[in-house]
Structure 1
Amino acid sequence: MLSAKSLFQEILDNDESFALFCSIAASGESQGGWENARIAALVPEAERDLAPKISRHGADEDKHGRIFSALMKKRGLDPVPVPPETDYTMLLEKNGIGLAHEQLNRDERLTVQDIVTYLSHSRVTEQRASEQMDLLRKHFADHPDIGRAVKQISNDEDNHLAYCHEELLRFAYAGHGRVIQRTLRECALAEIRIYRDVSLAVMAHMGRVLGWSKAKSAVLAAGIHAVYAYERMGGWRRMVSLTTPERRNALGGPATPEPEFA
């Protein structure tokens, strides 16, 4: 039976597909780490108290990149080139979601509106990351090779999502509510389209590596399109709601160290 667990197990069991999966994940996490580090360095003076949390967010993303690299190294695998059509983070940036790299490369202070844009973008993408890692945690938390990594990253992503909720609510109470809701909606509708396209591209590459039949590939593609249809019809709204998180001040301390992979 075709399921999320059996699909990922198939990717996990093959060195070439596992290297591709980890390389894509490591690249995205590393890009996220760089973006957060630059944002932390350019935070406007009025929001300097937020800089340590943004830095912590970036440190977590860098840590995740190292974890995925370590998982490859543990199996004696080298990173592989990331196909551009599978690069979720770069495609978001190219489609105007979040803060442009050109802006972050300049040594100019960001505005409060820029910080609201960054947090809104993060609110949407961290929802996706939290859900994906929760799915992996459900099926692979006890896996001898990747279980510790999955649990660590999943916990971090939940912290990131809680942080976005808390900070966006703070800005909403300060009078930015309408801008936040408009930005969240724009980000969510763009993200679900890019996620669909990236998912189709990743599955196409995995299918070639693993020798999937046309029928199996067609079923998986249909499933991806069905998810997009659900999200376009209203599922995207889960990405734009704001509620007080159970985890308060989730990024208020230093990053937790990554597990060791001997």
Structure 2
Amino acid sequence: MLSARSIFQEIVDSDDTYQLFCSIAASGETQGGWENARIAALLPKSMHHLAAKITRHGADEDKHGRIFNALLRKRGLDPVPVPPETHYTMLLEKRGIGLAHDKLRRDEPLTEEDIVVYLAHSRVTEQRAADQMVMLVKYFGDHPEVGRAVTMISADENSHLAYCHEELLRLAAAGHGRRIQQVLRESSLNEIAVYRDVSLAVMGHMGRLLHWPKAKSAALEAGIHGTYAYERLAGWRHMVSLAMPERRGALDGPPTPAPAV
């Protein structure tokens, strides 16, 4: 019987698929770390109060990249090139989600509008990350090889999501509410399409490495398309609502050290 647990178990059990999975994850997290570091460095003066939190966010993402690379080393594996069609963050940028890299490479201050857009984009993508990590913790939180890593990353993603909610609500109260809602809706609809495409590409690569029969691959593809259809119809609303988190100041203070893996 097909289930998320059984599919991920197959991926973790095979060196080839585990290597690709960790390489994709490490690459995306490392890119996120760079992006947040650049945004923190280019903040407009009116938003310098966010510098420490955005820096912390970037440090967490860098840490996650190191964790996934450490998981590879622990099994005696090296990172492998990430197929372009599986590069979630790169494909998001092509869809206009996230601040363009050419802008981040310049030494020119960002605008308040840029930061509003950045935080709205982050609210959407951090929701995806938090939901995925909750699933991995559910299935692998007690796994001897990856359990500590996924548990820590899940806690960090929850903190990132809380920070996005809190800062966006403050910006909405300061008069940016209409723009925030516009960007949230546009970003969520683009993100679910990218997530569908990346999921299909990743499962395609995994299926070839694991020699899945055509019927199994077809069933997984149908499930991915079904998830997209639901998210396109109604699930996107989960990504655009804003509520003050129970835990305020989730990114105050230094990053949590990475666990030994």
TM-score range for the pair, normalised by the shorter chain length: over 0.9
Partner of 2:65: 65
Runs of 4+ in 1 over 6 A off after TM superposition: none
Q: d(CA) in 2 for partners of 1:14 and 1:52?
A: 40
1:108 aligns with 2:108: yes
Shift of 1:51: 0.5
1:220 aligns with 2:220: yes
Paired AA for residue 181 in structure 2: Q
Q: Equivalent residue of 2:230, what SS?
A: helix
CA shift digits 1:215-262 (9 cap, x unpaired): 00000000000000000001101100000101210001100000112x
Partner of 2:176: 176
Q: d(CA) in 1 for partners of 2:200 and 2:74?
A: 28
Q: d(CA) in 1 for partners of 2:213 and 2:169?
A: 48
Partner of 2:146: 146
Percent of matched pairs sharing the same residue: 72
Paired AA for residue 188 in structure 2: A
Partner of 2:31: 31
Q: How many residues align?
A: 261
Q: d(CA) in 1 for partners of 2:171 and 2:186?
A: 18
Paired AA for residue 112 in structure 1: E
Partner of 2:197: 197
Listed as ranges, the matches of 1:1-262 within 5 Å are 1-261=1-261
Q: Any unmatched runs of 5+ in structure 2?
A: none
TM-score, structure 1 normalization: 0.99
Shift of 1:208: 0.3
Provide the alpha-carbon RMSD of the alignment: 0.4
CA shift digits 1:14-35 (9 cap, x unpaired): 0000000000000000000000
CA shift digits 1:181-221 (9 cap, x unpaired): 00000100000000000000000000000000000000000
Q: d(CA) in 1 for partners of 2:106 and 2:259?
A: 35
Deviates further, 169-178 or 92-101: 92-101
Paired AA for residue 41 in structure 1: A
TM-score, structure 2 normalization: 0.99
Q: d(CA) in 2 for partners of 1:147 and 1:30?
A: 21
Q: d(CA) in 2 for partners of 1:100 and 1:5?
A: 36
Q: d(CA) in 1 for partners of 2:88 and 2:247?
A: 27
Shift of 1:135: 0.2
Paired AA for residue 158 in structure 1: N
